[in-house]
Amino acid sequence: MKQLHYKVFLTGFAAIVTASSLSACGSSNQAEGAKTPSATPSGPLTFTMMNSYTSTEPPKADNPIIKRIEEYTNSKITTTWVPASAYNDKVNVSIASSDLPQVLMIADTKSSSIINAERSGMFWEIGPYLKEFPNLSKYNTNQQVLNNISVDGKVYGLYRARALARQGIAFRQDWLDQVGLQQPKTIDDLYKVIRAFALNDPDHNGKNDTFGLVEAEDSGGASSMGLTGFQNIAAYFGAPNQWEIKDGKAVPMFMTNANMEAMKFYKKLYDEKLINLDFAATKVSKQQEQFYQGKAGMLFTTLDFVITGGNELKKANPAAKIDIVSRIQGPTGEHVFATTGYNGMFVFPKATVKSEAELKRLLGFFDKIVDDTMMYTWTWGIEGVHFTKGADGEPAISNQTAYANEVSPLKQLPTYDGSLMIWKGKGEADNKFRTMLKNNEAIAVSNPVEPLISQTAVDKGTELNKIIADARVKFIMGTLDEAGFNKEVEKWRSQGGDQLMKEYTELYAKQAKK
């Protein structure tokens, strides 16, 4: 009979969870330090992985879902869990030092370091193998998404499939009731709710101690906006999704009037102290914590936050009520920005995955953890631990705390999140956000240059984007006026932006002819 032994320790910003499965007479160090996946089909698959986590803590060592995965797939996994806020830096360090696991999750798939690594042959090209695996073929072969992650026509990553229209607004419904307002339907409604949450004592404690909207910094990536919710607001004002093709030419979002209107909206919130004034130094984890603790009544996030965030909110305040909206009427109608259809991808370094046979065993693992049996587990957890079945045989979550602590954090692992699956027993809130995800695809605005690889973007994309992200934050905080922001746009253009627009224009025209 197998026994599971775990060690959990923290070093710097990485939380490392080591899981070793061994026989009763085996050594407790058997799985540790394994540098190559087992290639023996009859033996357990042993491999190492690096992945991110967004929960307050990494998955715990004795997590029953980890045990279920290992038992079901006959595997022994050693996972390094890294906070999402530090993940991209950790990936870059790992690549630069050639200290790579067998499975590496890539969050920023368009960064120059990742594209250069793919072009250098560091990772296996997996595109040709996907058709051999029934579940990966079902969930991970959307051609548009494959185009989005491809480099020079080749697919190196196993993407984590996500709904195209995930973004929305989470807010305290009980606060909304307290201030006597309806759920927002227009930009003006949204402003009034944010203002009331900040100034009208929504928690009824007699103090002026709340923010209407809590924001967090968004920096460092090739598509970062400066603050996490900006793209939501920009979409409501009718801005394109990062880029648009206008009169045959590629134009970045920040050169549009809608972008400026969105920045002015945020500046108004900042000037009136309706948002946290330290947003430029606030991490997402701190942003969510302030929402849970009742310091703010609203944040821009993914729609499934109504479940994951709602569970955390209930821990801090059992009487709190959370709800979500996503459709806000703007000057050009209702719009949400479309995601890329994925949230990161898994790559397989050739330095640690030595053969095609080893690669196929790893792909087989990912195929198995999204089969029907495991999708049921990802949805409900383990019977008797996380859910029970009623007289009608329908499952229902019985322990929300255990589900939030043990199941939700591990949803960084499967390559499909089941977001469009409707389950009767999940309840009204869960089915509400899933229905929104599906319905919002009709108003989702895509990024027309997402599949295109510009050499200037590869070489300078992150550096160029930082100019605009920083300028956007400075404008909101009042250290740059509109003229000053436009000077930063000119700086962007002179330092490579014009060349970037030229390349995207040419690449888009070339693609349109195919």
- In which residue ranges of the chain is CATH 3.40.190.10 found? 3-163+341-418, 167-337+446-512
Give me the mean pLDDT over the 272-278 stretch. Answer: 97
What confidence tier does 237 reach under pLDDT thresholds 50, 70, 90? very high
Pairwise CA distance, residues 415 & 242, whole Å: 25
Give me the mean pLDDT over the 438-447 stretch. Answer: 93
Mean pLDDT is lowest, of 3-17, 31-45, 129-143, 438-452, for 3-17
Contact (Cβ atoms closer than 8 angstroms) between residue 53 and residue 84: yes
Q: What is the pLDDT of residue 126?
A: 98
Pairwise CA distance, residues 252 & 41, whole Å: 50
Q: What is the pLDDT of residue 31?
A: 34
Q: Is the pLDDT of residue 36 over 90?
A: no
Q: What is the pLDDT of residue 32?
A: 35
Pairwise CA distance, residues 150 & 174, whole Å: 45
Burial of 240 (0-12, 13-18, 19+ CB in 10 A): buried
CATH number for the region 167-337+446-512 comes to 3.40.190.10
Instruction: Dump strand ranges (E) for 173-312.
Output: 217-218, 226-227, 243-246, 249-252, 298-302
Q: Is the pLDDT of residue 5 over 60?
A: no
User: What share of the chain has pLDDT > 90, as a percent?
Assistant: 77
pLDDT tens across 302-342, in order? 999 998 899 899 999 999 999 999 999 999 999 999 988 99
Higher pLDDT, residue 3 or 433: 433
pLDDT tens across 476-514, in order? 999 999 999 999 999 999 999 999 999 999 999 998 876
Strands 336-337 and 75-83: unpaired
Q: Tell which CATH architecture fits domain 3-163+341-418.
A: 3-Layer(aba) Sandwich (3.40)
Burial of 336 (0-12, 13-18, 19+ CB in 10 A): buried
Q: What is the pLDDT of residue 42?
A: 63
Quote the mean pLDDT of the chain: 90
Q: Is the pLDDT of residue 6 over 50?
A: no
Give me the mean pLDDT over the 268-288 stretch. Answer: 96
Q: What is the pLDDT of residue 249?
A: 97
Q: Is the pLDDT of residue 14 over 60?
A: no
Residue 366 tokens, joined: 């990912």
Q: What is the pLDDT of residue 4?
A: 34
What angle, rounded to 10 degrees, do the helices at 257-271 and 455-477 form?
Answer: 40
Task: Tell me the CA distances in angstroms from 39 to 4, 354, 358, one per residue in order.
Answer: 22, 10, 6
Q: What is the pLDDT of residue 8?
A: 35
Q: Is the pLDDT of residue 27 over 80?
A: no
Q: How would you label 268-289 residue by residue, b for 16+ Cβ within 10 Å and e otherwise? A: ebbeeebbbeebbebebebbbb
What confidence tier does 400 reach under pLDDT thresholds 50, 70, 90? confident
Q: Is the pLDDT of residue 239 over 90?
A: yes
Nearest to 131 by CA among 122, 123, 143: 143
Q: How many residues does the chain have?
A: 514
CA torsion sign, 425 to 426 to 428 to 432?
negative
Burial of 468 (0-12, 13-18, 19+ CB in 10 A): buried
First and final CA of the chain: distance in angstroms?
58
Q: What is the pLDDT of residue 297?
A: 98
Q: What is the pLDDT of residue 56?
A: 82
Q: What is the pLDDT of residue 514?
A: 65
Q: What is the pLDDT of residue 422?
A: 80
DSSP state of 251: E
User: What share of the chain has pLDDT > 70, as a percent?
Assistant: 91
What confidence tier does 440 reach under pLDDT thresholds 50, 70, 90? very high
Give me the mean pLDDT over the 187-214 stretch. Answer: 97
What confidence tier does 43 reach under pLDDT thresholds 50, 70, 90? confident
Contact (Cβ atoms closer than 8 angstroms) between residue 76 and residue 21: yes
